[in-house]
Every structure is written in structure tokens, then in C-alpha cells.
Structure 1
Amino acid sequence: MTDRVWLKSYPKGVPADIDATQYSSLVALMEESFQKYSKRVAYNFMGKDITYAQTDALSQTFAAYLQSLGLAKGDRVAIMMPNVPQYPVAVAAILRAGLVVVNVNPLYTPRELEHQLKDAGAKAIVIIENFASTLEKCIASTPVKHIVLCSMGDQLGLLKGSLVNYVVRNVKKMVPAFNLPTAVRFNDALAIGAKRSFKRVDPKADEVAVLQYTGGTTGVSKGAVLLHRNVIANALQSEAWNAPVMQKVPANEQPTSVCALPLYHIFAFTVGMMLSMRTGGKLILIPNPRDIPGVLKELSKHTIHSFPAVNTLFNGLANHPDFNTVDWSHLKVSVGGGTAVQSSVAKLWFEKTGCPICEGYGLSETSPSASCNPVTSTEYTGTIGVPLPSTYLKLLDDDGNEVALGQSGEIAIKGPQVMAGYWQRPDETAKVMTPDGYFKSGDIGVVDERGFFKIVDRKKDMILVSGFNVFPTELEDVLAQMPGVMECACVGMPDAKTGEAVKLVIVKKDPNLSEADVRAFCKENLTGYKQPKVVEFRVELPKTPVGKILRRELRDK
């Protein structure tokens, strides 16, 4: 669809293309905002405001500390934290020091963490103490030489910070015992950095900014290589897309966004943090979105204009009795991403806030946003909308040819936000990139004559749990190592709360193997969203004549 029929469906004022070359790097984008909005609040966390000027100073000091460790340009630094102020500070510092950000899910098990740190070749990690015990269990087998240890209260001032840390450690008991003797505390690292001089580095647009790990089309977690220009482009595309409604924010109100999705997830990283930075917005950092009453209590203190979230969160909030303690009347844009938004949730959200959920679509490989419904629409469309400015989508058959209108095909995406490839995996990159530069998503879609795309199926066996990719092959490989399991298969099943959930079907080798054994093993080796909701035992698994397990048959039953 090179003629871009979808441009006719764009709201008034949204450009067909954006100019991603206006910044030489994400550092240039951030430093412009640090200067331009220095007095504004950049982040709010647990009632504490952190300004753009403070973020600028802290990140420069932390960058000087990272440089003092002897880290060289292009070295990878992992971040393993929930949404705390140290996260955006660390991101800015890593990029300003000419290094590469590796986003890590803080709920990873030692097995998952070890794979990612080894694959990325991370030399350093910035980690919150709550998950330090996980790192301790695998650090010996990773290339990590430097550990910066954060705590929840680091940036809250001495009195409040000490109190928060005391509660987290001693009352809520959220910090398991750990032993990392070489770790340096975040505030100590800042003190060291303050005595060092920061050597300015100017990254180029084509240099690597982020390694964003994803299962891709197969089970092994791979790093999507996102260049500075990829993330810049996506922030600018999102800004242009939201403009028709965000322009209505009164001049005397600072645009304010809720960051309840975790920053290690590319949706929050780009459409939360980087977009807010570009527009001089205030970002409300929510460290634990599962605590719905806590989220509502926090939001009741703010005027909110923008809320990117996943279906589960919109649903949990809208159905909570405290929902109306928040003033939703200023909300201009609610973007649903990560997983399909259910029509019932969209309807309820619109009824209760007067602001429609605009469903978007994207992947780690596309930084992430590729398409979205117009922010001016008032009804739920059930589609993933139209391609964003400067973005092309087409549908391909198995031979790589574009299908006729009305037929389904694999969604392929081209645009300035598409990754450079998978980290050190030219073979895997070749599987997903077409000769003319399109990225094959693995999702099957249809498109109508107005250019609205709709996902109808998935080419790969991936399971989408609340916006997180779960790859059956990974789970099956892990389970195969469990004594007592002869063979197993993993499939997705519909789930009212999370969209899809994991179902595990096992053939026993040991007749005494119980569901409790399986669940305990999964808990030790797999992060929460990958754990099975249903465990089923069978005498045999359905297979093809050549012995390939028929997952589809297990799904259909």
C-alpha cells in the first residue's frame, strides 16, 4: 500500500511525515529539554517533584561516575528497576556517556537475567536492591563488573527517603537478603561522580541507543537494536499523532502523563519517558501498577492529560470503587497498547472519563509504535488504527508478495522507527527483514479501504499476557529440564483479565509428579507473567506424522 490511502483518515493537522533528523541523538533531544524546561517538573514520584534542571545535573554527575569506571563508548549498561526516579536519570546518564541502555525486567529469575546480561555483554548494571538477590545468584557467569545499587528512597530526601527504605526493607520485607560486596550505592556513585569531570560525548543518530530484549519470532530472547534515530522518530511520531487533542491543554497547565507501565517496556520508555521529555511534560512515576488503590490515590493528587496503558490496567482502574476519587475531566488521550483492548473495557472507560481509548500497535522492533487509532475518534473501532506519520504497512503472503485488498496477510512495517536488526544475530535479522526494508511482524492482519488495519491471527505461537510476549518454546525448554516430565507443550488460552494466559500440557515420566511440583519449578525459573494459569496432565500429546507437537490442536480443545 505504497499510495498511503490511510492519510485520508488522519485527523486535521497531523502531518504525513515527521523530520527525524532534527536531533543528532537522544542526548541532543534531552539536553534541549533540560535547557528549555529547566524550571518545570520532569518527574513526580511518591509526592516528590524532580525538575528538568535536577534531572540534567544528576544525570551529568552519574555519567561522570560511569566514565570514571573506564567504560568505553558503546559499552552496554543494564537497568533493572521499577519506575523510580533513578531510572530516567540512569538512562540520560548512560546515553550522555556514550553508552548503550539495556532494559531488564526486574522480575526476571536468575536464569532469565543471566541470559540477557551475557547476550548483551553488559559491563555494568544499575539495579534496585529489591532484586539484588537475583543478581547475586547469576553474576559470576555474566560479564558484569560494576554494580550500582539503588533503593526506593534514594531521591526522596534524607527524612522521607529513610522512612520509605525502612518500610520497604523491614515492614513490607521487600528486600531479600543478598551479598554483593563490590556494589556501590547510587547516592555514593553520585558523590564520586561529583568529584570527577564529565567528558562530553556526542553520539550519532546511527549509533546504538538501546538493546530492547524480545522473543522475536522464536523462543530465545534477542536484543532489538534501537538506534538513537529510531527512538527519536517514534517520540516525534507519537507527538504528532497526539497533537490534535494535546493542543487543547491550557497554556497554564503543564502536560502531565501517567507512567504506570514499567519503563523497561519499550511502550513506556518511548511513549512515556521520551515523549514527555520532548514535550516538556511531567511524568507521574508509578512503581507498582498492580496496587490499583495505590495508583488511584496517587492520581487523585494530579491533573492528568495523557495515559498510555494496557487493557488490564484500564479495566482494573475503571472497575475499582475509588475510580471517581480521581478528576478525569482533563484527560485528553488514552492510548491502549501492548495487547488488544477489549470493547467492553473501552466502552466503560469512555463512559467514565469521556476520553476514548485509542488502540495502537507496535513491537519492541519498532520502538514500538507503528499504528494507532485517531485520537479524535470517539468510538471503539476494534482495529489497530492506521500507520503513524512516515510509516508504511503492508500485508504479505508466505512468499513475500503483497496480498489483494480484503485478504489477510502478515503485517510488515517500514519506517524510521524500525530497528537496525537483532543484536549479534544476522541470521535472525534476515528472517524478519524484507529486501525492501520492511519488518515482518509475525501478526496476521487485514486492512480496509480507509487504511485501518486489524489483527486477525498470529503467525507465530506467541502468547500475549497483559502486553508481554510469552514464547512457548522457552517454557517448553525450561520444563523439559524438570525431572519427571517426559514431554510438554505450552499454548495460550483466552483470559478475561489478561487477554491470554498460559496453559501447560504435560506427559509424565514420573507418575508421582504433581501440579504443585510443576508450579514450584515454574516459579523458580520463570517470571510471573510466564507462569501457567492452567496445568494439565495427559497420556500423550497430539503430533504430526513427523512428530511435531500440534499446539493448535491443544489450543482448539
Structure 2
Amino acid sequence: MEYCPEKDHDLPDVDLYSPLSLTTETTVLHAEAADPTNSINKAQARTITKRIAHVFRTEFGIGRNGPGKDVVLCMSANQVLLPTVFFAIIGAGGVFAAASTALTVMELVKQIRQSHTQVIVTCPENKDKALKAAQQCGIPATKVLVLESMGHKRLLRNTVNPAQNYLQRESELQWDRITDRATLENTLICLLYSSGTTGPPKGVMLSHMNLVSEAVIPQLVLRESRVGKPHLDVPYSTIGHLPTAHIAGCQGYFVTPAVAGGPVYWMSRFNVDQFMDYCKKYQITFLSTAPPVYQAIADSPRVTDHFTSLIRAESGAAPLSPEIQERAEKKLGCAMSQRWGLTETTGSVTTLPWGQTDNTGSISPVLPNVRLRMVDEDVKDVAQGMEGELLVKGPMVSPGYFENPEATAGAYTPDGWFKTGDVGVLKDGLIYIVDRKKELIKYKGLQVSPVEVEAFLLTHDGVSDVAVIGVADPAAPGNELPRAYVVKKQGKSVSEEELKEYVKANLARHKQLRGGVVFIQEIPKNGSGKILRRILRDQAKAESATRQAKL
């Protein structure tokens, strides 16, 4: 059975540069949270974007042979001019690829090679890492650029000739306007890396239509006037605290502000106390973040009048318990909406319409223009009210994984439905997540692929076999900690601390074995050799329950 929203919207056939209806030329779009005088408005953003696009085209050949072919990888901490680099890459005809600043050199090398990156843009803190990875991939240092735009700096320089500042160039590139629907749907402009439902990270391909629809539709839900219902008509402002290598930061801070019509106040590093103070100082009206931040707000004795201006609070990336939601709402002074989606859906495909509330733990109803199915193991629709894997279709759903037809075929049905890996049930028009088929571990809203960590641990001389699962974090409900179950090689001696240090030295921070290492005699597997993670998860839950009972 196909479930539909209350209504759909007619989406405009426009590229990423066009849907700027709620802004004026003087609207400030980006500012530094620590110093808001360091800011750019819409007109300035357009000029800087065109100048950087000209540099990418003329100096580095990005887009010279047509759009959607040349990849520029960006690995940077949050900063004011980062959105102009994003738009400039796409405006030049290139593909923006994002890499997390948490990646190690080894992980970064893999992503550079997978994406066929030609140019790298980074920040001063990550310059050395970028140069080491570039060298291993055969990218010359002249194609590693360093962007600095906090503290009123305006610098974009290559690492060979730092005296040359590309932001001082005045030549501009006029980008092509696109109105053809097929071109908007099929032109690759953005690559974000996700593990999907399992496996190592893969490049999720996003188009103009994906990003535009994800920006426009939620705003229509909030701001469209309905008969008998109030509509949202307040200035937009938010805090840029999430990393832009992930869909929430990329979509939420690069694209949405231009559509919603207000500024992002950028934090280069996240600090929860500073974050709360900035929300008060700048009278933030919109807040979208992950459950750990809402838990910190709920638990903080510092929160008094920090969120009096807030009119919309949204939670995503991981489940938010009704208990934490209730406590957070008291501190925030407004109702919260849980949104659900993935990188493959360009972010959220569900949200609560303006004026509605829900405290039952649902992930809200589907957005306009989205279609939902719930299916069994044979991808056949289950009866209404029964549990099933959630499948979605819509203009924001990615066409698939970059140069990975096998992974794409495994994640999509032949008629184009994306298999989310989440198991849910529909009750009274609201969707509830009850389980998940996918094996991903969610640590503070970030994805951890157990397959990736397992593959790395198997390179250790003392490991014969291994399985990695997520175990419940006792300090943060809904958060998971990676745990490795390890079979030692015969005759080899290896300790928990040794394996933890091995991972720490080579994998990103969110992939660390915070859930511990457990040595066992055999990894449970089925007849075809697939790891039976559910057995290990059930075992971990039983052990946790036993410990709690003893306490």
C-alpha cells in the first residue's frame, strides 16, 4: 500500500541558484557567531561565489568539459565563506564532495580515490592532513587550497604559493540557468558519503532537484497559509553548529538559509555552553540538531531565557525519547518536531506541519511530494497497521551511489523505491520507528559502519575474526557505542587496550571502540557466513540488564 501526504506542491523547474524568494539583496545570510560583524549578505555572497567559480574554471579546469564530471573535495571546519565555495564549485560545473574533518589520512585517501577528486579545499587546521592525502593520491600541492574566512579574513590560497589570494580576483563566471526537468534531476552536483544501510561509506549522488526540493518543500509546509490554521511568518535565523560534511549541515546551512531568508551564525567548533549563549544573543528562531544537544539543553542548569525567541525546534539523526523531548520542550519554550531521513533522501522526508504537536515518539508524517510504503522481507506491502521496512520515493531521493551500481541495485527496488533499512509502523497518520534492518551504528548522530571497522580490525596480526555492533550508551539514551567481538588468532596475544589504540590511531573519533572489546571463541554466523549481529545485540542487552539488576 502506498501512503501519501495530505497534499503535494508544484515544484518549480529551477536550479540551485534560483529559489531565493524570501531574501533581499541586503539580507545577511552568513555571519561568524563569535563576531557577527564578520558577515556577508546575499549580494556579497553572489559576487564572491561568481569570483571563486571563475577561479575553479580558469585555474583548475573545473566544469570545462561539461557539468557533473569534475570533483572538488571540501574538508573544512565551519566558516563564513564555506557556502560560497559550495555554490562556486557547482556554478563552475563541478561536483562538491564533502569530507569530514574527523577523517584520518587513510580514510581521506580512500574518499579522494573513490570520488576521483581533482582539487581539495580545506582549512588551516586540516592543511597538513589534506596535503599528505593529496600526495598519496597524486594530486599536486598546487591543487590543495586553504580557505580562511573567520576573524574577518578573506583568503583562498594554494599551499605552494600562499602569497597568491584567489579571493582578490575580480573576474566572474556567469553560471548557466537550468530549467529542463530531466537535467535538474540527473545532473550530479553534490557527493556526500554515507554507509547506506550497511557496508563502507559510499558516495550519495545529489542533483539540483534533490537539494532544491528539500529546501523548498519544508518551507512551504511551515509558511503556506491554510484556511483556519495559522502560518509561520517570522524571520529565519539559526546557529551553524553541525558539520557540513553531513547532510544536516550541508543542506541546512548552505541551501536552506537562502530559501528561508535569514542568517546562519557559524561556530567553527561546537561548545554546548557557547551554543546556548549564541541562541540567546542572536534570538535564534529555528533550531535543528541531534538528540545529544537536546539532552544537554534539558540537563543544563544554565538554561533560563536562552530560547525565548525559538519558534521551531526539530530533532533528527537518531531517535529522541519522549522523556528527553518533554524535558527539552520545557527549557526551549516551544514544541518539538522529530524529523526522519537519510543522506540518500537529502535529509528529512517527514516533519510535523506548523501548529501540530506530538509527544508520542513518532517521526511525524511524510512531507508533501513524498510517497511511503511498508514492506516485508520479500518487498511485499504489509497490511495497514503492521510493521514493515520503510520505502520512500520523492523528488529529494538520491538516484543512487556514485560509480557503485551493485550498491545502488541493493538499495533500490527496480521501480525506484529507496529501501531505508528502518522498520516502522503507521498509527493515526504518524510513523513510528520500531526496529531497523540496517546494521549502522549511530554515535551522536554520526554513522559508523560496522563492516568498515571490522575490515580494519582484521588487518591486526592478532585478530582472526571480528564482529562490531552498537551497544546502548548508559549516559545518553538513544546513543550507541561501537563494540567489537573478537576471536584471537591461535598463538597470538592481544589485549582490549591494544585494539582500542589500533583503531584510535587510524580511524575517525566517532568510530572508536567506546563500547569495549569482548573476546569470544566464535562469531555467530548463518549458513552463508553472514554475521548474526542480532544475537550479539541480544547478548549485550542481557548483560546490561544483569548489571542494572545487580546495581
User: TM-score per shorter chain, which class?
Assistant: 0.7 to 0.9
- Aligned letter for 2:76? M
The unaligned stretches of length 5 or more in structure 1 are: 8-15, 163-179
State the Cα distance separating 1:216 from its structure 2 match.
1.3
Partner SS, residue 389 of structure 1 = coil
Structure 2 length-normalised TM: 0.88
2:293 matches 1:313: yes
- Name the residue aligned to 1:415: 394
Cα RMSD of the aligned pairs, angstroms, is: 2.3
- Name the residue aligned to 1:348: 327
- Name the residue aligned to 1:524: 505
2:209 matches 1:229: yes
Partner SS, residue 428 of structure 1 = helix
- Name the residue aligned to 2:444: 466
* 1:372-405: CA deviation from partner (whole Å, max 9, x where unpaired): 2334233412111111000011101122211101
Q: 2:145 aligns with which of 143, 148, 153?
A: 148
Q: 2:342 aligns with which of 342, 346, 363?
A: 363
CA contact (8 A) 2:465 2:523 kept: no
The unaligned stretches of length 5 or more in structure 2 are: 540-551
Instruction: Give the number of equivalent residue pairs.
Output: 514
* 1:480-510: CA deviation from partner (whole Å, max 9, x where unpaired): 1112222221011111426211111222236
* 1:406-458: CA deviation from partner (whole Å, max 9, x where unpaired): 2211100011111111111122111122233211111111112x331111111
State the Cα distance separating 1:183 from its structure 2 match.
6.7
- Name the residue aligned to 1:62: 52
- Name the residue aligned to 1:86: 81
- Name the residue aligned to 2:425: 446
Once residues 88 and 548 of structure 1 are traced to their aligned partners in structure 2, the CA distance between those partners, rounded to angstroms, is 42
Compared with structure 1, are the counterparts of its residues 3 and 443 closer, same or farther at alpha carbon in structure 2 (3 Å cutoff)?
closer
Structure 1 range deviating more: 476-485 or 546-555: 546-555
2:129 matches 1:134: yes
Partner SS, residue 339 of structure 2 = strand
Q: 1:400 aligns with which of 361, 379, 383?
A: 379
- Name the residue aligned to 1:49: 39
Q: 1:71 aligns with which of 62, 66, 71?
A: 62
- Aligned letter for 2:24? Y
- Aligned letter for 1:201? D
Please list, as runs of the form range in 1=range in 2, the aligned pairs for 1:114-513 lying within 5 A after superposition. 114-142=109-137, 144-145=139-140, 146-151=143-148, 154-157=149-152, 181-182=159-160, 188-191=165-168, 193-194=169-170, 196-203=171-178, 204-206=183-185, 207-243=187-223, 247-250=231-234, 254-289=235-270, 291-324=271-304, 326=306, 328-448=307-427, 450-495=428-473, 496-497=475-476, 499-509=479-489, 511-513=492-494
Once residues 63 and 276 of structure 1 are traced to their aligned partners in structure 2, the CA distance between those partners, rounded to angstroms, is 20
2:99 matches 1:99: no
Compared with structure 1, are the counterparts of its residues 143 and 120 closer, same or farther at alpha carbon in structure 2 (3 Å cutoff)?
farther
- Name the residue aligned to 1:515: 496
Compared with structure 1, are the counterparts of its residues 3 and 348 closer, same or farther at alpha carbon in structure 2 (3 Å cutoff)?
closer
- Name the residue aligned to 2:545: none
Once residues 275 and 8 of structure 2 are traced to their aligned partners in structure 1, the CA distance between those partners, rounded to angstroms, is 36
Once residues 150 and 449 of structure 2 are traced to their aligned partners in structure 1, the CA distance between those partners, rounded to angstroms, is 37
CA contact (8 A) 1:410 1:445 kept: yes
CA contact (8 A) 2:441 2:447 kept: yes
Once residues 19 and 358 of structure 2 are traced to their aligned partners in structure 1, the CA distance between those partners, rounded to angstroms, is 35
* 1:42-88: CA deviation from partner (whole Å, max 9, x where unpaired): 11212233211221121111111111222223311111112211211
Identity fraction in percent: 26
Q: 2:24 aligns with which of 37, 41, 46?
A: 37
Partner SS, residue 213 of structure 1 = strand
- Name the residue aligned to 2:2: 2
- Name the residue aligned to 1:550: 532
CA contact (8 A) 1:259 1:308 kept: no
Structure 1 length-normalised TM: 0.87
Partner SS, residue 488 of structure 1 = strand
CA contact (8 A) 1:79 1:127 kept: yes
Once residues 200 and 248 of structure 1 are traced to their aligned partners in structure 2, the CA distance between those partners, rounded to angstroms, is 33
* 1:157-204: CA deviation from partner (whole Å, max 9, x where unpaired): 36xx99xxxxxxxxxxxxxxxxx853758x81212x32x342533354
- Name the residue aligned to 2:542: none
Compared with structure 1, are the counterparts of its residues 99 and 246 closer, same or farther at alpha carbon in structure 2 (3 Å cutoff)?
farther
Once residues 355 and 411 of structure 2 are traced to their aligned partners in structure 1, the CA distance between those partners, rounded to angstroms, is 33
CA contact (8 A) 1:329 1:353 kept: yes
State the Cα distance separating 1:243 from its structure 2 match.
2.3
State the Cα distance separating 1:340 from its structure 2 match.
0.6
Compared with structure 1, are the counterparts of its residues 494 and 226 closer, same or farther at alpha carbon in structure 2 (3 Å cutoff)?
same
State the Cα distance separating 1:129 from its structure 2 match.
1.7
Once residues 525 and 200 of structure 2 are traced to their aligned partners in structure 1, the CA distance between those partners, rounded to angstroms, is 24
